[in-house]
Amino acid sequence: MTTRRQNVLSVAVFLLVLLGILLLSPKNRERVQNGFLSLMSPFLKKGSEWDRSVGKLRHQLKTLQQLEVENDALQVENDKLKALNQALQGIEAENLRLKAAFGYKDQTPFSLVPARIIGRSESNWWSSVKIDRGTADGVQKDMSALTPDGLVGKVIAASDHISTILLISDENCGVAAMLRNPSGQLQHGIIRVVRGDRLSNMQQPRMTMSFLPKHLKVAPGWKIFTSGLGRVFPENVIVGEVVEIKPRELETEVSIQPAVNLAALTDVFIVTGLKGAAEK
């Protein structure tokens, strides 16, 4: 067979295979995706351990100049801390006791599954992370992810031992949310969708809340909380804080800084339900 014939035949076979894959049913498509996630799982877990070790090592390696600057800063800090130490001794003991008594997991009304981030966003246009928990741990698609600081995102794919979380800074992750002024007063009747920006990423997360009434006297510092109306995210979890007001002709738009530092995210909790819901 000539090379030309082989090439024509290969193009034909390629197009047939492509068509077959494009026509996969949603169930089979999910099966392929979960299969690939499962295949990646051990490698991502091992890679994540190495990544943490390298990160620690890199953090420890500093130039002489950096060490000198750091030393000066530490000396000033040390003097300050000595003064503070006396005053804080009593508070520290109380703080430790409270921390032990009311660990976040116990304090929250949600049933939580703790998870570790084992992979970060792999492309330019999608903001997601991989966690080391999957369906075997009770994690399901559309469950929400949070930290003690606030909302992180939602599960968009879950295989046996690994899941993908779409971050709140992604344009595709809309969160039904409400506003609260600095004195904690809820703006009743105003529930809007908080959405990430198309160019948002983990390093520079950008989110907006649009279509706010023109008369609303919103100001930087107002907090955004989940409304629970979307039925994906639980109610009253902090999403972020208003940082900029953009008045439009007919409405007001606000820019939001996420409450969670997405760039430094290492661990999350997956909300699997409400405590006591199973007994009910």
Binding mask 201-240 for other proteins (x = CB under 8 A): xxx-------------------------------------
Measured from the CB atom, the residue of 113 and 157 that comes closer to other proteins is: 157
Instruction: Please choose, out of 71-79, 82-90, 94-102, 167-175, the segment that lies near other proteins by the rule CB under 8 A.
Output: 167-175
Residue that the structure tokens 């330019």 belong to = 124
Measured from the CB atom, the residue of 13 and 274 that comes closer to other proteins is: 13
Residue that the structure tokens 């649009």 belong to = 210
Measured from the CB atom, the residue of 40 and 245 that comes closer to other proteins is: 40
What six digits make up the tokens of 161?
Answer: 């031992």
SS3 call for 70: helix
SS3 call for 174: coil
How many whole angstroms separate alpha carbon 175 and alpha carbon 93?
39
Q: Per CB under 8 A, does 17 bind other proteins?
A: yes
How many whole angstroms separate alpha carbon 76 and alpha carbon 71?
9
Cα–Cα nearest to 115, from 266, 8, 232: 266
Distance set, CA 255 to CA 147, 169, 205, 221 (Å): 21, 12, 10, 11
Shortest separation between residue 276's beta carbon and other proteins, angstroms: 29
- For other proteins (CB under 8 A), the number of binding residues is 48
Shortest separation between residue 272's beta carbon and other proteins, angstroms: 20
Measured from the CB atom, the residue of 10 and 85 that comes closer to other proteins is: 10
Strand pairing report for 207-212 and 110-119: unpaired
Q: What is the DSSP string of 71-133?
A: HHHHHHHHHHHHHHHHHHHHHHHHHHHHHHHT-HHHHSSEEEEEEEEEE---SSS--EEEES-
Instruction: Please choose, out of 184-192, 197-205, 253-261, 267-275, the segment that lies near other proteins by the rule CB under 8 A.
Output: 197-205
Q: Per CB under 8 A, does 166 bind other proteins?
A: yes
Shortest separation between residue 156's beta carbon and other proteins, angstroms: 5
Q: Per CB under 8 A, does 11 bind other proteins?
A: yes
Measured from the CB atom, the residue of 108 and 196 that comes closer to other proteins is: 196
Q: Which amino acid is at 219?
A: A
Report the site for other proteins in 36-75 (rule: CB under 8 A): 36-37, 39-40, 43-44, 47-48, 51
Of residues 104, 138, 147, 174, which one binds other proteins by CB under 8 A?
174
Residue that the structure tokens 């939001």 belong to = 256
Residue 158 pairs with which residues in a beta bridge?
A: 163
Q: Per CB under 8 A, does 120 bind other proteins?
A: yes
Contacts of 228 (CB under 8 A, 6+ apart): 176, 234, 235, 236
Residues lying near other proteins in the complex (CB under 8 A): 3, 6-7, 9-11, 13-14, 17-18, 21-22, 24, 29, 32-33, 36-37, 39-40, 43-44, 47-48, 51, 118-126, 130, 156-157, 164, 166, 171-174, 198-199, 201-203
